[in-house]
Protein backbone atom coordinates (compact mmCIF):
# COMPACT_ATOMS: atom_id res chain seq x y z
CA UNK A 1 0.00 0.00 0.00
CA UNK A 2 1.16 3.54 -0.68
CA UNK A 3 1.78 5.49 2.52
CA UNK A 4 1.39 9.27 2.53
CA UNK A 5 1.48 9.80 6.31
CA UNK A 6 1.85 7.44 9.25
CA UNK A 7 0.72 8.20 12.81
CA UNK A 8 2.44 6.47 15.72
CA UNK A 9 0.84 6.79 19.17
CA UNK A 10 3.31 6.22 21.99
CA UNK A 11 6.02 6.99 19.44
CA UNK A 12 8.47 8.33 22.04
CA UNK A 13 8.31 5.11 24.01
CA UNK A 14 10.63 2.14 23.97
CA UNK A 15 9.07 0.21 21.06
CA UNK A 16 7.48 3.22 19.41
CA UNK A 17 10.71 5.16 18.99
CA UNK A 18 12.44 2.20 17.33
CA UNK A 19 9.46 1.92 14.99
CA UNK A 20 9.63 5.64 14.20
CA UNK A 21 13.33 5.45 13.38
CA UNK A 22 12.75 2.56 11.01
CA UNK A 23 9.79 4.25 9.30
CA UNK A 24 11.88 7.38 8.75
CA UNK A 25 14.74 5.27 7.36
CA UNK A 26 12.19 3.87 4.87
CA UNK A 27 11.29 7.45 3.84
CA UNK A 28 7.82 7.50 5.39
CA UNK A 29 6.33 10.74 6.66
CA UNK A 30 5.66 10.26 10.39
CA UNK A 31 3.65 12.01 13.10
CA UNK A 32 4.30 10.97 16.70
CA UNK A 33 1.73 11.41 19.46
CA UNK A 34 3.03 11.02 23.02
CA UNK A 35 2.42 12.72 26.37
CA UNK A 36 5.93 11.76 27.56
CA UNK A 37 4.63 10.13 30.74
CA UNK A 38 6.86 7.14 30.06
CA UNK A 39 8.30 7.97 26.64
CA UNK A 40 11.30 10.28 26.28
CA UNK A 41 11.96 12.96 23.70
CA UNK A 42 15.58 11.81 23.67
CA UNK A 43 14.38 8.49 22.23
CA UNK A 44 13.47 10.43 19.08
CA UNK A 45 16.78 12.26 18.74
CA UNK A 46 17.79 10.26 15.68
CA UNK A 47 14.62 11.18 13.76
CA UNK A 48 13.35 14.34 15.47
CA UNK A 49 14.27 16.69 12.62
CA UNK A 50 12.30 14.57 10.15
CA UNK A 51 9.06 13.97 12.05
CA UNK A 52 6.17 15.89 13.56
CA UNK A 53 5.85 15.48 17.34
CA UNK A 54 2.53 16.17 19.07
CA UNK A 55 2.61 16.35 22.89
CA UNK A 56 -0.85 15.00 23.66
CA UNK A 57 -2.56 12.66 26.13
CA UNK A 58 -4.16 10.14 23.79
CA UNK A 59 -6.84 9.36 26.38
CA UNK A 60 -8.32 12.86 26.00
CA UNK A 61 -11.48 13.65 24.09
CA UNK A 62 -11.87 12.66 20.47
CA UNK A 63 -12.67 16.30 19.64
CA UNK A 64 -9.28 17.40 20.94
CA UNK A 65 -7.56 14.61 19.06
CA UNK A 66 -9.12 15.45 15.72
CA UNK A 67 -8.56 19.18 16.14
CA UNK A 68 -4.82 18.67 16.55
CA UNK A 69 -4.36 15.74 14.18
CA UNK A 70 -5.53 16.96 10.78
CA UNK A 71 -3.19 15.10 8.44
CA UNK A 72 -4.28 12.52 5.90
CA UNK A 73 -3.08 9.34 7.60
CA UNK A 74 -2.91 6.12 5.64
CA UNK A 75 -1.82 4.02 8.61
CA UNK A 76 -1.97 4.36 12.39
CA UNK A 77 0.27 2.35 14.70
CA UNK A 78 -1.46 2.42 18.08
CA UNK A 79 1.17 1.64 20.72
CA UNK A 80 0.26 4.14 23.47
CA UNK A 81 -0.83 2.39 26.65
CA UNK A 82 -1.04 2.60 30.42
CA UNK A 83 1.64 0.19 31.75
CA UNK A 84 0.46 -3.22 32.91
CA UNK A 85 2.17 -2.95 36.30
CA UNK A 86 -0.05 0.01 37.28
CA UNK A 87 -3.38 -1.52 36.32
CA UNK A 88 -4.44 -2.78 39.77
CA UNK A 89 -3.40 0.46 41.47
CA UNK A 90 -5.24 2.69 38.98
CA UNK A 91 -7.73 0.69 36.87
CA UNK A 92 -9.68 3.83 35.89
CA UNK A 93 -6.62 5.36 34.28
CA UNK A 94 -6.05 2.03 32.59
CA UNK A 95 -9.52 2.25 31.04
CA UNK A 96 -8.92 5.81 29.85
CA UNK A 97 -5.62 5.03 28.14
CA UNK A 98 -6.11 1.44 27.04
CA UNK A 99 -9.77 1.50 25.95
CA UNK A 100 -11.02 5.03 25.35
CA UNK A 101 -7.96 6.00 23.34
CA UNK A 102 -8.52 3.05 21.00
CA UNK A 103 -12.04 4.27 20.23
CA UNK A 104 -10.63 7.72 19.42
CA UNK A 105 -8.03 6.17 17.15
CA UNK A 106 -10.69 4.11 15.38
CA UNK A 107 -12.79 7.22 14.79
CA UNK A 108 -9.70 8.98 13.43
CA UNK A 109 -8.99 5.98 11.20
CA UNK A 110 -12.56 6.04 9.95
CA UNK A 111 -12.26 9.71 9.02
CA UNK A 112 -8.92 9.12 7.27
CA UNK A 113 -9.74 5.68 5.83
CA UNK A 114 -6.54 4.58 7.53
CA UNK A 115 -5.24 1.15 8.40
CA UNK A 116 -4.93 0.46 12.15
CA UNK A 117 -2.06 -1.64 13.47
CA UNK A 118 -2.73 -2.36 17.12
CA UNK A 119 -0.24 -3.51 19.77
CA UNK A 120 -1.97 -5.82 22.21
CA UNK A 121 -0.67 -8.25 24.80
CA UNK A 122 -0.12 -11.98 25.01
CA UNK A 123 -1.07 -11.90 28.70
CA UNK A 124 -4.68 -12.03 27.50
CA UNK A 125 -4.24 -15.81 27.17
CA UNK A 126 -3.63 -16.12 30.91
CA UNK A 127 -2.08 -19.48 31.76
CA UNK A 128 -2.80 -20.79 28.26
CA UNK A 129 -5.22 -23.57 29.21
CA UNK A 130 -2.40 -25.35 31.03
CA UNK A 131 -0.44 -26.33 27.92
CA UNK A 132 2.31 -24.82 25.82
CA UNK A 133 3.06 -23.34 23.37
CA UNK A 134 0.15 -20.93 23.20
CA UNK A 135 -1.23 -20.12 19.75
CA UNK A 136 -4.09 -17.99 18.45
CA UNK A 137 -6.64 -20.81 18.84
CA UNK A 138 -6.37 -20.66 22.65
CA UNK A 139 -9.18 -19.19 24.70
CA UNK A 140 -8.79 -15.72 26.21
CA UNK A 141 -8.36 -15.78 29.99
CA UNK A 142 -7.07 -12.37 31.17
CA UNK A 143 -5.70 -12.15 34.71
CA UNK A 144 -5.31 -8.37 35.14
CA UNK A 145 -7.33 -5.23 34.33
CA UNK A 146 -4.68 -4.38 31.73
CA UNK A 147 -5.31 -7.62 29.86
CA UNK A 148 -9.09 -7.12 30.08
CA UNK A 149 -8.79 -3.62 28.64
CA UNK A 150 -6.44 -4.70 25.84
CA UNK A 151 -8.96 -7.40 24.94
CA UNK A 152 -11.78 -4.84 24.96
CA UNK A 153 -9.79 -2.72 22.49
CA UNK A 154 -9.30 -5.73 20.25
CA UNK A 155 -13.08 -6.23 20.19
CA UNK A 156 -13.63 -2.56 19.37
CA UNK A 157 -11.25 -2.90 16.41
CA UNK A 158 -13.06 -6.01 15.21
CA UNK A 159 -16.42 -4.22 15.41
CA UNK A 160 -15.16 -1.22 13.43
CA UNK A 161 -13.65 -3.56 10.87
CA UNK A 162 -16.91 -5.46 10.47
CA UNK A 163 -19.15 -2.38 10.53
CA UNK A 164 -17.09 0.14 8.57
CA UNK A 165 -14.52 -2.00 6.77
CA UNK A 166 -11.56 -0.35 8.52
CA UNK A 167 -8.46 -2.43 7.66
CA UNK A 168 -6.71 -3.49 10.84
CA UNK A 169 -4.19 -5.93 12.22
CA UNK A 170 -3.97 -6.90 15.88
CA UNK A 171 -0.67 -8.06 17.35
CA UNK A 172 -0.20 -9.79 20.67
CA UNK A 173 3.39 -9.27 21.78
CA UNK A 174 5.54 -11.62 23.78
CA UNK A 175 7.89 -9.95 26.32
CA UNK A 176 9.77 -7.26 24.39
CA UNK A 177 13.22 -6.04 25.44
CA UNK A 178 16.06 -3.99 23.99
CA UNK A 179 17.84 -0.61 24.04
CA UNK A 180 15.86 2.40 25.34
CA UNK A 181 13.92 0.24 27.78
CA UNK A 182 14.90 1.87 31.05
CA UNK A 183 13.57 1.07 34.52
CA UNK A 184 11.87 3.80 36.54
CA UNK A 185 10.63 3.85 40.15
CA UNK A 186 7.23 2.69 38.88
CA UNK A 187 8.24 0.53 35.92
CA UNK A 188 10.86 -2.20 36.14
CA UNK A 189 11.02 -4.41 33.03
CA UNK A 190 13.05 -7.38 34.09
CA UNK A 191 15.96 -7.29 31.62
CA UNK A 192 16.40 -3.53 31.83
CA UNK A 193 16.21 -3.68 35.62
CA UNK A 194 18.75 -6.49 35.90
CA UNK A 195 21.17 -4.74 33.56
CA UNK A 196 20.87 -1.34 35.23
CA UNK A 197 21.24 -2.65 38.78
CA UNK A 198 24.09 -5.04 38.05
CA UNK A 199 26.06 -2.33 36.22
CA UNK A 200 25.62 -0.22 39.35
CA UNK A 201 26.96 -3.09 41.46
CA UNK A 202 23.57 -3.51 43.15
CA UNK A 203 21.46 -6.60 43.80
CA UNK A 204 18.21 -6.67 41.79
CA UNK A 205 14.89 -8.06 43.00
CA UNK A 206 13.31 -11.20 41.56
CA UNK A 207 9.63 -11.62 42.32
CA UNK A 208 8.83 -15.23 43.19
CA UNK A 209 11.37 -18.04 42.84
CA UNK A 210 12.72 -16.92 39.46
CA UNK A 211 11.55 -20.06 37.69
CA UNK A 212 8.70 -18.22 35.95
CA UNK A 213 9.32 -18.12 32.22
CA UNK A 214 8.72 -15.67 29.41
CA UNK A 215 9.12 -15.63 25.65
CA UNK A 216 11.57 -12.72 25.28
CA UNK A 217 11.66 -11.02 21.88
CA UNK A 218 14.13 -8.34 20.83
CA UNK A 219 12.69 -4.97 19.84
CA UNK A 220 14.05 -4.93 16.28
CA UNK A 221 12.20 -8.17 15.55
CA UNK A 222 8.96 -6.58 16.74
CA UNK A 223 9.55 -3.49 14.59
CA UNK A 224 10.27 -5.57 11.49
CA UNK A 225 7.01 -7.45 11.98
CA UNK A 226 5.00 -4.26 12.46
CA UNK A 227 6.41 -2.65 9.33
CA UNK A 228 5.89 -5.76 7.24
CA UNK A 229 2.20 -5.60 8.16
CA UNK A 230 1.75 -2.33 6.28
CA UNK A 231 1.51 -4.28 3.05
CA UNK A 232 -0.34 -7.32 4.35
CA UNK A 233 -4.06 -7.89 4.05
CA UNK A 234 -5.44 -10.12 6.77
CA UNK A 235 -8.41 -10.64 9.05
CA UNK A 236 -8.56 -8.98 12.47
CA UNK A 237 -7.86 -12.07 14.52
CA UNK A 238 -4.78 -11.59 16.74
CA UNK A 239 -1.31 -12.42 15.46
CA UNK A 240 1.28 -13.51 18.02
CA UNK A 241 4.75 -11.99 17.75
CA UNK A 242 7.20 -14.16 19.66
CA UNK A 243 10.39 -16.22 19.38
CA UNK A 244 8.74 -19.55 20.23
CA UNK A 245 11.37 -20.03 22.96
CA UNK A 246 10.79 -20.12 26.73
CA UNK A 247 13.42 -18.69 29.12
CA UNK A 248 13.26 -18.50 32.93
CA UNK A 249 13.86 -15.28 34.84
CA UNK A 250 16.72 -16.98 36.66
CA UNK A 251 18.33 -17.90 33.33
CA UNK A 252 18.06 -14.31 32.13
CA UNK A 253 19.62 -13.10 35.37
CA UNK A 254 22.50 -15.54 35.07
CA UNK A 255 23.17 -14.57 31.44
CA UNK A 256 23.21 -10.84 32.23
CA UNK A 257 25.45 -11.51 35.26
CA UNK A 258 27.88 -13.43 33.04
CA UNK A 259 27.92 -10.80 30.28
CA UNK A 260 28.68 -8.09 32.84
CA UNK A 261 31.25 -10.32 34.59
CA UNK A 262 29.41 -9.95 37.87
CA UNK A 263 28.72 -12.47 40.63
CA UNK A 264 26.06 -10.49 42.50
CA UNK A 265 23.18 -12.52 43.96
CA UNK A 266 19.57 -11.34 43.48
CA UNK A 267 17.02 -10.62 46.21
CA UNK A 268 13.99 -12.94 46.02
CA UNK A 269 10.59 -11.50 47.02
CA UNK A 270 6.98 -12.67 47.03
CA UNK A 271 5.44 -13.09 43.57
CA UNK A 272 3.17 -10.29 42.36
CA UNK A 273 -0.60 -10.85 41.93
CA UNK A 274 -1.76 -11.79 38.44
CA UNK A 275 1.67 -12.96 37.31
CA UNK A 276 1.73 -15.82 34.80
CA UNK A 277 3.96 -18.77 35.71
CA UNK A 278 5.00 -19.89 32.22
CA UNK A 279 4.79 -18.25 28.82
CA UNK A 280 5.74 -19.80 25.51
CA UNK A 281 4.11 -18.49 22.34
CA UNK A 282 3.78 -20.04 18.90
CA UNK A 283 4.74 -17.58 16.12
CA UNK A 284 3.71 -19.81 13.19
CA UNK A 285 0.83 -17.57 12.12
CA UNK A 286 3.02 -14.47 12.05
CA UNK A 287 5.60 -16.28 9.94
CA UNK A 288 2.93 -17.38 7.47
CA UNK A 289 1.02 -14.10 7.16
CA UNK A 290 3.90 -11.64 7.39
CA UNK A 291 6.70 -13.64 5.82
CA UNK A 292 8.61 -12.76 8.98
CA UNK A 293 10.89 -14.55 11.40
CA UNK A 294 12.72 -13.25 14.49
CA UNK A 295 16.46 -12.81 13.96
CA UNK A 296 17.97 -11.99 17.38
CA UNK A 297 18.50 -14.79 19.91
CA UNK A 298 18.25 -13.94 23.59
CA UNK A 299 21.99 -14.08 24.40
CA UNK A 300 22.91 -11.70 21.57
CA UNK A 301 19.97 -9.49 22.49
CA UNK A 302 21.17 -9.29 26.09
CA UNK A 303 24.66 -8.33 24.91
CA UNK A 304 23.15 -5.49 22.87
CA UNK A 305 21.21 -4.29 25.93
CA UNK A 306 24.29 -4.35 28.16
CA UNK A 307 26.34 -2.50 25.54
CA UNK A 308 23.67 0.18 25.10
CA UNK A 309 23.13 0.61 28.86
CA UNK A 310 26.86 1.00 29.44
CA UNK A 311 27.07 3.68 26.76
CA UNK A 312 24.11 5.53 28.28
CA UNK A 313 25.72 5.52 31.72
CA UNK A 314 28.98 6.87 30.26
CA UNK A 315 27.06 9.63 28.44
CA UNK A 316 25.25 10.66 31.62
Interacting residues of 24 by C-beta distance below 8 A, sequence separation 6+: 30, 46, 47, 50, 51
Enzyme catalytic residues:
146
Is the CA virtual torsion 125, 121, 102, 98 positive or negative? positive
* Residue 201 to residue 163: CA distance in whole angstroms: 56
Computed from CA positions of residues 294, 296, 301, 307, in that sequence, does the dihedral angle turn out positive or negative?
negative
Amino acid sequence: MGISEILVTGGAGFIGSHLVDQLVDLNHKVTVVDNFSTGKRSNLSKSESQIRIVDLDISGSYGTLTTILKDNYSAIFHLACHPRQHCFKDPWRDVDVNVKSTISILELALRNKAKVLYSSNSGIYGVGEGRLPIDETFSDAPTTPYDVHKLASEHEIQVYNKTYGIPAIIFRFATVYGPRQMPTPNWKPVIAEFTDRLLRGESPDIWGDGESTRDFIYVSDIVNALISALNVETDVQPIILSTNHEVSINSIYNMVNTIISSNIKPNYSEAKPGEIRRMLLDNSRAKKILGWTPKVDVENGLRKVVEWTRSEKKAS
